[in-house]
């Protein structure tokens, strides 16, 4: 047990860096920002797996050792508890007056009758009672409260089950995130997710067959503009099957057989119409703009148009700032309200080579700054647009803000250990309640014949844990006294 406690302390200590430092599994962008802010310290921390604490080998080692230690503690303890639960209570100690609570009674009954009467009282109180012949007269041993130790064993077995369930979820579970604009959809496929992580034993070919289309996304605001509720109307079903309508919210996910679909965020996708002088027109094209300020929903994003340029060096890229309720002062656009009361967008337009076919990774939400620095992308226009307004470039290309759509950040999660984690947690709670509320109590009694022919009944109690206290022993002594038709001679209590 001492080893288990030390390992539990080490596990808690090892989790501290995971709370203080950004973790790649939660936010890779924050880890990248930490590298930019601390270029010397960050590589050292990265070598120590401090940006992947819960996936690090040293955290897994502590976790595994704790698991083994718990098994070594709880299994022998469970066997011992089973043996003690069916074993008879131990004989009465020789010196009953040394127990924490003792009392003596005088009775006109014989030793056998007095002990039998006391045993009947204890059985009515749900004690297990054993009568014996001792070297100093008839004696009685009684006990109850085995559920206290049962709760202890259940708690630790449930803790083991919880650890196993969490491990199952990590090994066979997966989680994918995607931004879906109204009118569009996705399927549960690795290739479609913006972010995806899975356990090492996940077979991507056996992922839950699920497709969903976002029909509408609604935000209900408080009078002061604070969002109150988010509701997404989905059509979902297996690929090629009849779709089923449903509405999900932040705390009301779509629950399917094997997967859950959650709403984790929202934002705006401004829509544009781009027209070339040769008559080529793209209508209602959009891209999600990610919120940079959740209080006002001011958002930033990019629209890349590789097919509208005259050759690979004439491709267009639009970098923008979207304000749901715009307020432009001195040409600088800001948002003053998260509600789309007066949508406006600030655009910077570049022409050149986007590098989408170069094989180099780049964000779909921003223009590659390195290509701007190298002169591969050149600014050819900028301005602030309200809905219906346009910017015309030097070659006659016009870009018009036609409106906006909402997008929902959806997360698909599959955790095969989820139900078992819940069952284990409930069992742990039940075991803990038994440990705290049930008292393990043993009561002993011995009857001996005095020189005057009367029978003296000496009683003692030994209690462990909360529950019945001295008042309960006093009530027991009084009830036994009535049963043996005796009068309490004395009652001793410690302190």
Which pLDDT band, with edges at 50, 70 and 90, does 391 fall under? very high
Whether 114 is covered by a domain: the verdict is: yes
pLDDT band at 401 (very low <50, low <70, confident <90, very high): very high
86-113 burial string, b = 16+ CB within 10 Å, else e?
eeebeebbeebeebebbbbbbbebebeb
At 470 the pLDDT is: 58
Same domain, 241 and 294: yes
Please report which confidence band the pLDDT of residue 490 belongs to, taking 50, 70 and 90 as the band edges. Answer: very low
Whether residues 100 and 64 share a domain: the answer is: no
pLDDT band at 489 (very low <50, low <70, confident <90, very high): very low
Question: Which of 53-67, 283-297, 405-419 has the least mean pLDDT?
Answer: 53-67
What is the pLDDT at residue 29?
Answer: 67
How many Cβ atoms from other residues are within 10 Å of residue 203's Cβ?
Answer: 9
pTM over 0.95: no
Residue 445 vs residue 136, higher pLDDT: 445
Within-domain flag for 60? yes
Is residue 390 domain-shared with residue 284, that is, in the same domain? yes
Instruction: Quick: pLDDT tens for 108-125.
Output: 888 898 999 999 999 999
379, 414, 449: which is the final residue of a domain? 414
Q: What is the CATH number for 105?
A: 3.30.160.110
DSSP string, 156-180: HHHHHHHHHHHHHHHHH-EEEEEEE
pLDDT at 25 over 80: no
- CA–CA distance, 148 with 143 (Å, rounded to integer): 12
Does the pLDDT value for residue 433 go beyond 90?
yes
- pLDDT tops 80 at residue 314: no
Q: What is the pLDDT of residues 419-429, one digit of tens each?
A: 999 999 999 99
Domain co-membership, 328 together with 477: no
Q: Which of 17-31, 41-55, 167-181, 427-441 has the lowest mean pLDDT?
A: 17-31
Same domain assignment for residues 218 and 318? yes
> Edge-to-edge strands of the sheet including 315-323?
290-293, 298-305, 315-323, 344-352, 377-386
Instruction: Give the mean model confidence (pLDDT) for residues 410-424.
Output: 92
- What integer pLDDT is reported at residue 54 of this predicted model? 81
How many other CB atoms are there within 10 angstroms of residue 10's CB atom? 17
Question: How many domains does the structure of the chain reveal?
Answer: 3
Other CB atoms within a 10 A radius of the CB of residue 189 amount to: 15
Give the model's pLDDT for residue 451: 85
Say which residue the tokens 């860096």 belong to: 17
CA-CA-CA-CA torsion sign (358, 360, 363, 367) = negative
Establish if 166 belongs to a structural domain. Answer: no
448 with 410, same domain: the answer is no
Most confident of 29-38, 89-98, 386-395, 468-477: 386-395
The answer to whether residue 6 is domain-embedded is yes
Of the chain, the end-to-end C-alpha distance in Å amounts to: 32
Tokens matching residue 335: 């948002």
Angstrom distance (rounded) from CA 111 to CA 107: 9
Lowest mean pLDDT segment, chosen from 50-59, 68-77, 186-195, 479-488? 479-488
* Lowest mean pLDDT segment, chosen from 129-143, 240-254, 453-467, 475-489: 475-489
242 lies in the same domain as 373 = yes
Whether the pLDDT of residue 308 is over 80: the answer is: no
129 and 25 in a common domain: no
Residues 108 and 76 in one domain: no
> Is the pLDDT reported for residue 133 higher than 80?
yes
pLDDT level of residue 485 (50, 70, 90 thresholds): confident
What is the average pLDDT across 26-53?
85
Q: Is 487 exposed, middle or buried (0-12, 13-18, 19+ CB in 10 A)?
A: exposed
Does any domain span residue 162?
no
220 assigned to some structural domain: yes
Mean pLDDT value of segment 28-39: 82
Residues in contact with 97: Cβ distance below 8 Å, sequence separation at least 6, in sequence order: 458, 460, 492
Residues 314 and 377 both lie in one domain: yes
**What percentage of the chain reaches a pLDDT higher than 90?**
35
**Strands of 440-449's sheet, edge to edge?**
128-134, 137-144, 440-449, 455-464, 101-107, 487-492
What pLDDT is attached to residue 212? 93
The answer as to whether 159 is a domain residue is: no
Q: Are residues 315 and 358 in the same domain?
A: yes
Query: Model confidence over 57-85: pLDDT tens digits?
Result: 888 888 888 888 888 888 888 888 888 88
Q: What is the DSSP letter of 327?
A: E
pLDDT single digits (tens) 197-214 = 888 888 888 888 999 999
Domain boundary (414, 429, 456) is at 414
> How many angstroms separate the CA atoms of 56 and 24, rounded?
12
Q: Which of 41-45, 412-416, 461-465 is predicted least confidently?
A: 461-465
Which residue among 40, 60, 82 closes a domain?
82
Q: What is the mean pLDDT of residues 376-400?
A: 91
What phi and psi values does residue 393 have, to the nearest 5 degrees? -85, 175
According to the model, what pLDDT value does residue 370 have?
Answer: 86
What is the predicted pLDDT for the residue at 310? 58
Range of the domain at 62: 2-82
Q: Band the pLDDT of 488: cuts 50, 70, 90.
A: very low
pLDDT of residue 466: 54
Residues 322 and 396 in one domain: yes
- Is 151 within the bounds of a domain? no
For residue 112 the two structure tokens come to: 């056998």
Residue length, the chain? 495
């Amino acid at each position: 047990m001492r080893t288990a406690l030390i390992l539990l302390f080490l596990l808690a200590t090892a989790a501290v860096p995971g709370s203080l430092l950004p973790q790649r599994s939660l936010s890779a962008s924050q880890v990248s920002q930490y590298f930019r802010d601390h270029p010397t310290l960050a590589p050292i921390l990265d070598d120590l797996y401090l940006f992947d604490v819960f996936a690090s080998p040293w955290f897994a080692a502590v976790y595994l050792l704790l698991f083994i230690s718990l098994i070594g503690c709880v299994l022998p303890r469970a066997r011992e508890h089973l043996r003690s639960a069916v074993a008879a209570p131990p004989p009465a100690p020789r010196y009953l007056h040394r127990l924490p609570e003792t009392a003596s009674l005088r009775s006109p009954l014989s030793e056998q009758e007095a002990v039998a009467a006391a045993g009947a009282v204890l059985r009515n109180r749900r004690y297990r009672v054993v009568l014996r012949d001792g070297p100093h007269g008839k004696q009685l041993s009684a006990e109850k409260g085995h559920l206290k130790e049962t709760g202890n064993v259940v708690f630790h077995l449930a803790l083991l089950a919880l650890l196993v369930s969490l491990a199952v979820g990590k090994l066979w579970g997966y989680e994918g995130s995607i931004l879906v604009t109204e009118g569009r959809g996705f399927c549960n496929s690795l290739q479609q997710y913006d972010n995806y992580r899975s356990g090492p034993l996940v077979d991507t070919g056996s992922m839950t067959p699920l497709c969903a289309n976002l029909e509408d996304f609604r935000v209900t605001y408080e009078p002061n503009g604070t969002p109150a509720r988010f509701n997404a109307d989905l059509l979902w079903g297996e690929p090629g099957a009849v779709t089923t309508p449903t509405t999900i919210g932040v705390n009301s996910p779509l629950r399917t057989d094997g997967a859950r679909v959650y709403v984790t965020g929202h934002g705006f996708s401004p829509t544009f119409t781009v027209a070339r002088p040769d008559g080529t027109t793209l209508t209602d094209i959009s891209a999600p703009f990610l919120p940079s300020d959740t209080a006002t929903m001011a958002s930033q994003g990019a629209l890349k148009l590789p097919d509208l340029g005259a050759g690979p060096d004439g491709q267009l890229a639009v970098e923008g700032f979207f304000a749901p309720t715009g307020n432009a002062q001195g040409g600088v656009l800001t948002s003053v309200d998260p509600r789309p009361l007066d949508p406006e967008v600030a655009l910077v337009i570049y022409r050149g080579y986007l590098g989408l076919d170069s094989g180099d990774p780049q964000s779909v939400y921003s223009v590659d700054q390195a290509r701007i620095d190298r002169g591969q992308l050149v600014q050819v226009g900028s301005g602030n647009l309200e809905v219906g307004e346009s910017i015309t470039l030097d070659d006659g290309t016009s870009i018009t803000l036609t409106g906006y759509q909402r997008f929902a950040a959806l997360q698909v999660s599959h955790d095969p250990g989820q139900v078992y984690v819940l069952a284990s947690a409930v069992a742990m709670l039940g075991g803990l309640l038994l440990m705290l509320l049930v008292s393990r109590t043993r009561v002993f009694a011995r009857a001996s014949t005095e020189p005057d022919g009367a029978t003296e009944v000496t009683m003692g109690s030994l209690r462990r844990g909360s529950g019945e206290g001295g008042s309960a022993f006093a009530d027991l002594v009084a009830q036994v006294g009535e049963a043996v038709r005796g009068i309490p001679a004395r009652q001793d209590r410690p302190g």
